[in-house]
Structure formats: C-alpha cells, structure tokens
Amino acid sequence: MRKALVVLLLALVFVPLARADGDPASDYLLQQASFVPPDTAMSAYDTNELNALLRAAKAAGYTVRVALIASQYDMGSVTVLFKKPKLYAPFLSQELKFLYKGRVLVVMPNGYAIARNGKSDAAEQAVLDKLAPPSPFAGATLAAATAKAIRAVAAHAGVKVAALPKVKGGSSSSTNNDRVYIGVGALVLLLLAGGVTIRRRRQA
C-alpha cells in the first residue's frame, strides 16, 4: 500500500510531463542510459542495479540504452505505438540517432524490441523473441527480466557481462521507506504536540 502511494505521488508529477512531450523516453535517453517511469514500480535499488548492469555491459564492449514502457502514459503523445515494441524501438532510435547511434532496447508488457541507428536489428531481435515478457510487469520481476534480456543480446554479440557485486543491504529499500514514513510520522506528531501546547498556554 505504501509503495503504491509513493508511485501514485510520483506519477502525479511525471504524467503531466509525459503528456506534454511527444516521446518522453527520447528526452531521458539522450541524457542517461535508462528510462524507468514511476508506473513500473521499480525500487531505487532495482533501478540502480539496472544502471550498474548497463555500465558493466558498456565497459565490456556492449552499449545499449533501455526504455521500460509500462502503460500508455509512458508514451506521451505516441500512444498508438503502445504494445508495439517492434515499431516503437526503431521510432525511438530514430529520435535519438542525431546524438546517440547505439542500441536501444524497449521493454513492454507484451515483449522486447531492439534497434540501432534508427533501424531494427533482426539478429538481436531473434534473440529477444525467445524470451518471455516480464510477468508481472513491475518491480523486481521487471528488473530481473530486463537484466536477462540485456545479458542475452550482449552474449549474442560475443560480450559476456560479469556478475555485479552484491550490495550489502540491497534488499533494504523497504526499510529505508519505513524510515522515511516513521520520520514523517514523528514530525507530524511533534507539530501536533506543539499545537496542543500552544493552545493550553493560551487557555491558561
């Protein structure tokens, strides 16, 4: 419930930005390696792990940027391409190619697609077609499926991405969230207590 609330609050900020842009993912991927909108419900830890994997793949010789598309809201004004990853991937790659000509991996609820320099990559697409779409399309399951897809196409290109080092406390994202809620709750209680004290002094 708490995670859903956080996602909802983030979506209230993100959705207007998405709606105001023809293709939000292209703006993000010009600056960074991944597009992970709030409605994917991925934790900060899983998002960091995905970005670490992308850095490791690049260091090993396989550069790819990833767009996770969970809903029509993530498409901006090109909602007609939702659940059409094989059409959206070259479209997105075309949007990026003036500054980035490398691979772009699109992950949607119904599958994966990859393109490079504005064109589909048939050989790597054949590798992705063998993978089952993430189900459910959210959270850790989505993160793991995306990582599997990245490793699969990298391996097809002859690049083996080393296993990422385990981060201590990696599963503590929920604990950190709990600390935030506890801190906010404590602050509210302090404010309420302060208000009660002021009222009592005035009545005295």
Residue type, 27: D
* CA angle at 134 for the pair 153 and 120, rounded to the nearest 5°: 40
How far is 117 from 12, CA to CA, in rounded Å?
33
Beta strands in the chain, from DSSP E residues, in sequence order: 34-35, 64-68, 103-108, 111-116, 119-120
How far is 42 from 30, CA to CA, in rounded Å?
21
How far is 82 from 48, CA to CA, in rounded Å?
25
Give me the pLDDT at residue 13, please: 37
| Other residues' Cβ atoms within 10 Å of the Cβ of residue 12 | 10
**Domain boundaries in the chain?**
2-156, 170-204
CATH number, domain 2-156: 3.10.310
Q: Name the band, by pLDDT with cuts 50, 70 and 90, for residue 192.
A: very low
Taking 60 as the threshold, does the pLDDT of residue 169 lie above it? no
Among candidate residues 67, 61, 56, the one with its CA nearest the CA of residue 90? 67
For tokens 């996602």, the residue is 7
Among candidate residues 147, 151, 148, the one with its CA nearest the CA of residue 47? 147
- What is the rounded average pLDDT of the residues 176-198? 41
Q: Name the band, by pLDDT with cuts 50, 70 and 90, for residue 167.
A: low
How far is 144 from 45, CA to CA, in rounded Å?
12
pLDDT for 105-144, tens place per residue?
999 999 999 999 999 999 999 999 999 999 999 999 999 9
Q: Which two tokens mark 192?
A: 């309420």
103: CB partners within 8 A, 6+ apart: 62, 63, 64, 65, 114, 115, 116, 121, 124, 153
- What is the rounded average pLDDT of the residues 19-43? 88
Q: Mark out the alpha helices in 133-172 (DSSP H runs).
A: 139-156
Taking 80 as the threshold, does the pLDDT of residue 171 lie above it? no
Give yes or no for a contact between 77 and 39, defined as CB atoms under 8 angstroms apart.
no
pTM here is: 0.73
Lowest mean pLDDT among 35-44, 98-107, 163-172, 178-187: 178-187
Give me the pLDDT at residue 150, please: 98
pLDDT for 65-82, tens place per residue?
999 999 999 999 899 999
